[in-house]
Amino acid sequence: MENFSFVNPVKILFGKGTIGQIKGEIPAGDKVLVVYGGGSIKKNGVYGQVADALSGYEVHEFPGIEPNPQYETCMKVVALIKEKGIDYLLAVGGGSVIDAVKFIVAAVYYEGGDPWEILSKDAEIKKALPFGAILTLPATGSEMNGNSVISRAGIQEKLSFASPLVYPKFSVLDPTTTYTLPPRQVGNGVVDTFVHITEQYLTHYEGDSMLQDKLFEGLLKTIVAEGPKALETPTDYDVRANLMWASTWALNGWFGNGRPQDWATHMIGHELTAFYGLDHGQTLAIVLPGVMKVMWKSKFEKIRSLGCEVFGVCGADQASTVDKTIKAVEDFFEAMGVKTHLSDYGLDEEAIDKVCKRMEERRWKLGECDDITPDMIREILTLRR
């Protein structure tokens, strides 16, 4: 196990009817800005619960944060905050809304010039406004971490940043708010959660971190069992609760401590979204099986554990174990309604060329061993045509 230092200060308010508890978490007298997305919260009753909980506060609101939240939209919110003298933000939605608010609370105080530098130049964040979150789409783990991914359509970029100053002060996780999610969002969310885990679990590591392996396997077993049930029986509370809480643990930082992490699937997937607008979960479902196939030799021990422990498939030899495990992963993604090949989304060689050219320009070293070359990225994507 590797050395680490870590703290996660987010308070979790979990369960049915817990949105009302936010009143106890936001300082009295604060001017609150509620930030949300396309308006689904007005249909599922969340908006009304938030309005009730915030009675007594001066409340402003900003609707319209996009999936893959856009820099330009975030900067409009920054302007509104300055105009109204906002003290506290409340992100209501999924990872896109929460990620956007993280960038916004940091950009408000950014003094270095264009806040885009927080993403493009890893510029230091020295101060941020406080905010809380009400999660309505379990997937990204953003409700309990300090990470954010922001897109900029004008230059087809999708970049991430992280800071301990942008952890939510609290996050409300009410599984009943997920009952009305469209199946596509449920599927994408489960795939995203699955791949957050494999980015940290399915790695080559000379040392031993059995504890983390077993905890990640526990998360994987849960979402593999519960994911399809959420599509079949959307209002099963315990199924939704298990999935919502698992998605938080998949990326709140705790289990990934002390061992190497991959993230190649996410980095390659982000480019597919930046160029072609695919859903984040769709890109991961395409890329992960390719990463597993191309990197199977160094990842073999964990691929075998994933197959045997999580999916109950073990091959007679290494090659068949790898193939069976990759097949099980693909089948699971497809069962969640998420297609796993580029052609399913109308993409062909041109997309592969475009992503590979971008990855060559970036000169990033991908994979837990920094050994995924541009040629290997081409191989990964070619396998996923």
Q: Which of 141, 146, 62, 60 is nearest to 103 (CA)?
A: 146
Residues that bind a second copy (CB under 8 A): 1-18, 21, 170, 175, 207-211, 214-215, 217-219, 221-222, 225-226, 237-239, 241-242, 245-246, 249, 254, 257-258
- Do 108 and 78 meet the contact criterion of CB atoms below 8 Å apart? yes
Beta carbon of residue 74, minimum distance to a second copy (angstroms, whole number)? 27
Beta carbon of residue 21, minimum distance to a second copy (angstroms, whole number)? 7
Beta carbon of residue 7, minimum distance to a second copy (angstroms, whole number)? 4
Nearer CB in complex with a second copy: 110/255: 255
Nearer CB in complex with a second copy: 31/221: 221
- Taking residue 379's Cβ as centre, other Cβ atoms within 10 Å add up to 17
Beta carbon of residue 368, minimum distance to a second copy (angstroms, whole number)? 17
Nearer CB in complex with a second copy: 71/167: 167
Beta carbon of residue 167, minimum distance to a second copy (angstroms, whole number)? 11
Query: Which residues, 6+ apart, have CB-to-CB distance to 68 below 8 Å?
Result: 96, 149, 151, 158, 273, 277, 280
213 by Cβ neighbours in 10 Å (0-12 / 13-18 / 19+) ranks as buried
How many CA atoms does the CB half-sphere of 187 hold within 13 Å? 21
Nearer CB in complex with a second copy: 16/127: 16
- DSSP string covering 10-39, please? -EEEESTT-GGGGGGTSPTT-EEEEEESSS
Nearer CB in complex with a second copy: 76/237: 237
Distance CA 306, CA 286 (A): 18
